[in-house]
Structure 1
Amino acid sequence: MNIRFSKYKNKKSIVVENNRIRAEFISDPGGKMVSLVGKDTGYEFLVQRPGEVYREQPFDGCYTDGECSGFDDMFPTIDACAYDTEPWKGVKMADHGEVWSLPWEHRIKDNTLELSVKGIRFQYELKKQVFFVDENILRIAYTLVNNSAHDFEFLWAGHFMFNMEEGMRVAVPDDCKEAISILTNTDRAFGEIMHWPHFKDISGEVYRADISRPATSGGFEKYYFKNKLKDGWCELHYPDSKKKLAVSFSADTVPYLGILMNEKGWDNLYNIFIEPCTVCYDRPDLAKRHGQVSKVAAGGEYQWYVDLTL
């Protein structure tokens, strides 16, 4: 294993790699993973944007006007909204959360990359450790610290933007039967229940949602699986049998999974978003109305992890 400093576009970066995987992070902004390469094939799994300058946004800026690539942490919300209980009732929760636009502290210790950031409008610290648990498994372990005297309700989602290929198959646990439509370019209503993997497209035709269609389909559909997962995982099986990616996560603390398959229906990208998350519906107040709450106790901690297996 090797951890070294490098450069990504115009940003200082940190590369974490071994004989199988090369992962690259920037601490400012977002503490984000900007690249994930399987060394066996040389394939870049994460979406890259053109240009030599990283597109930044100010705090509380518009996420999609920024770089909008790679893997960002969405916390403590995805959609901009207002916190709904005291003592922060009415406080604005920024678009796609606070931490993607903020500089993170970083250090290297004991073959581990450590990253951390403190909240702006809320009293928390979000920390993550990046290390290998096996030659082909990269782990990102999270600790959320509540520095306030009040319980804090939040949403965390891993915003993975993976490159897609036509005919790629998505595998999920067997208990993923019903999906809730959240965002689409069809006339499907928000909250409509769909039966995985057979969805209807914009013309009403049934298609397999677990297999990526040609870019000419123009599909764009975000959904969450309705029930909590017993086992947290999702796999991408590429047409080239040498390429396979698994995202696994701690289902006891991250019990939901969202997927957005984008077949050039948005921003001329052909990619898939995989989003393990603590609650659904893209905002914590709306999730709570549907009986979903993730909460860190006053003065307490909340922990989870994500493993990337190539």
Structure 2
Amino acid sequence: MSASRPRLVDTSVTRGGIGGIALRGEELALTVFPEAGGKILDLVHRPTGFNFLWHNPRVELQKTYAGALFDDLWCGGWDELFPTDGRCEVDGNTYHDHGDLWIGPWEWEVERDDGSSAVLYMRRYSTSLPCLMERWISLERAGAVVEVRYRLANFGARPVRFVWNVHVAHAITTDSRLHLPARRLGVQPPYLGRAEGNAGDVSWPWYEDRDGVGHDLSRMPPVESGLTEFFFTRDLEDGWCAVTYPSAGVGLALTFDRIIFRNVWLFCVYGGWRGHYLLLTEPSTSEPGSLADNVASGLAAVLEAGSALETEVRATVLTGVASDIPGGVSPAPVAALRGAFR
């Protein structure tokens, strides 16, 4: 009789005294912390040891609580922002900074761990809306893909309006490249960066400023630039975005349903905001701003009473990434990346 295969799930993980859950395959490992707002803190390519997710060097992982400012407790990683980005009031209700799913613990259970694959189930009720967010995080032993299946249910008697972002903080280096199937980006003040002085949208990936200086927005300026840029897609052509790391030979692609996540927000920090160096890609149901802003513009997502929304986001590790892969619109012609976005 052959020996059973080792399990993929480890529920004994701790970080700074906070309990976590690790899912470890042969190619990919991730660590989730239900007690810290359900955060995915690590997403590691095991053959190289490369962690795709950014960690705040000045803020340790900690339990979250109502009334805290998200930015002051944010230690990086992958979070779910719902039902708003910025703090606001709508119809007399107050909505927390960056929503309420990051506040407090998520319930969880291991649904499968049979040696070949693992599924971690998690759920969290919104405190501001009659909604339940459920996640199923799946990993195959030999796979290089993390699948996150979502179910968002409105168990109330009336429709709810919301903003939902899949908030992924990428670690970056100066040779990192951003890939995005778009031609135009909106610019969100006050974080103008290389678009300073521009009167409207900018072209992607190549943008020429008012002085005639060209900028490749898919490339990362050094931390010494002190820049912060906040863009969002105006014409997302397909449901994916990716960050590649030629020096490490790897990349990370996020794929999602473009009908649900209509835009990608890009919060690009090159030594500016709080002195950090990172790139946030945020597939979003709406445009930058709070729930109140999106209600006023008619761009808030709506979930009818008694209904549920189901979707999936896949994080795929790309390998064989070469130094001559261009950033910008689409790396699809490059063999190393082909197939990750279909």
Q: TM-score, normalised by structure 1?
A: 0.90
Cα RMSD (Å): 2.3
- The Cα of 1:201 is off from its aligned counterpart by 7.4
Deviation by residue 1:81-118 (Cα, 9 ceiling, x = unmatched):
112xxxxx120111000011121101001221011011
Q: Which residue of 1 aligns with 2:128?
A: 121
Question: CA separation of 1:202/1:63 partners in 2, compared to 1, >3 Å: closer, same or farther?
Answer: farther
Aligned to 2:150: 142
Q: Identify unmatched segments of 5+ residues in structure 1.
A: 84-88
Amino acid at match of 2:300: V
Question: Which whole-Å CA distance do the structure 2 matches of 1:207 and 1:254 have between them?
Answer: 27
Confirm or deny: 8 A CA contact 1:181 1:188 kept in the other structure: no
Distance 1:53-1:226 versus aligned 2 partners, 3 A rule: closer
Q: Which amino acid aligns with 2:155?
A: N
**Letter of the aligned partner of 2:145 in structure 1?**
I
2:131 and 2:154 in contact (8 A); partners too = yes
- Is contact 1:26-1:32 (8 Å) kept? yes
Give, as a single letter, the amino acid of the residue that structure 1 aligns with 2:183: K
Q: Is the 8 A contact 2:18 2:63 kept in 1?
A: no
* 2:36–2:64 CA contact under 8 A, matched in 1: no
2:265 maps to 258
Matched, 1:161 2:169: yes
Relative distance call for 1:200 and 1:78 in structure 2 (3 A) is farther
Residue 92 (1) aligns with residue 94 (2): yes
1:263–1:269 Cα contact (<8 Å) kept: yes
Equivalent residue, structure 2, for 1:180 = 186
Distance 2:63 2:207 in 1: 36
CA contact (8 A) 1:236 1:246 kept: yes
Any conservation in 2 of the 1:56–1:67 contact (CA below 8 Å)?
no
Q: Structure 1 residues 68 and 54 mapped into 2: Cα distance closer, same or farther (>3 Å)?
A: closer
Instruction: Flag the 1:50–1:212 CA change in 2: closer, same or farther, 3 A.
Output: closer
Q: Whole-Å Cα distance in 1 between the matches of residues 299 and 35 of structure 2?
A: 32
8 Å CA contact 1:181–1:191 kept in 2: the answer is: no
Q: Could you list the runs of 5+ residues in structure 2 that have no partner in the other structure? A: 1-6, 113-117, 318-342
Equivalent residue for 1:293, pick from 286, 300, 315: 300
Q: Residue in 2 aligned with 1:4? A: 10
User: Counterparts of 1:46 and 1:192 in 2: how far apart (Å)?
Assistant: 31
Match of 2:178 in 1: 170
1:151 to 159, 164, 174: 159
Tell me how far 1:71 sits from its aligned partner. Answer: 0.9
Letter in 2 for 1:292: L
What's the offset of the Cα at 1:15?
0.4
Corresponding position: 1:102 with 2:110: no
Q: Which whole-Å deviations, capped at 9, do the CAs of 1:162-215 have from their partners, x for residues lacking one? A: 100102111111xx1111111405484899311112346799843111111211
Distance 1:82 1:157 in 2: 19
Q: Determine helix, strand or coil for the equivalent of 1:267.
A: helix
Task: Give the whole-Å Cα distance in 1 for the aligned partners of 2:297 and 2:59.
Answer: 43
Q: Give the count of matched residue pairs.
A: 302
TM-score by length of 2: 0.82
Shift of 1:290: 3.8
User: Relative to structure 2, which stretch is displaced further, 237-246 or 264-273?
Assistant: 237-246
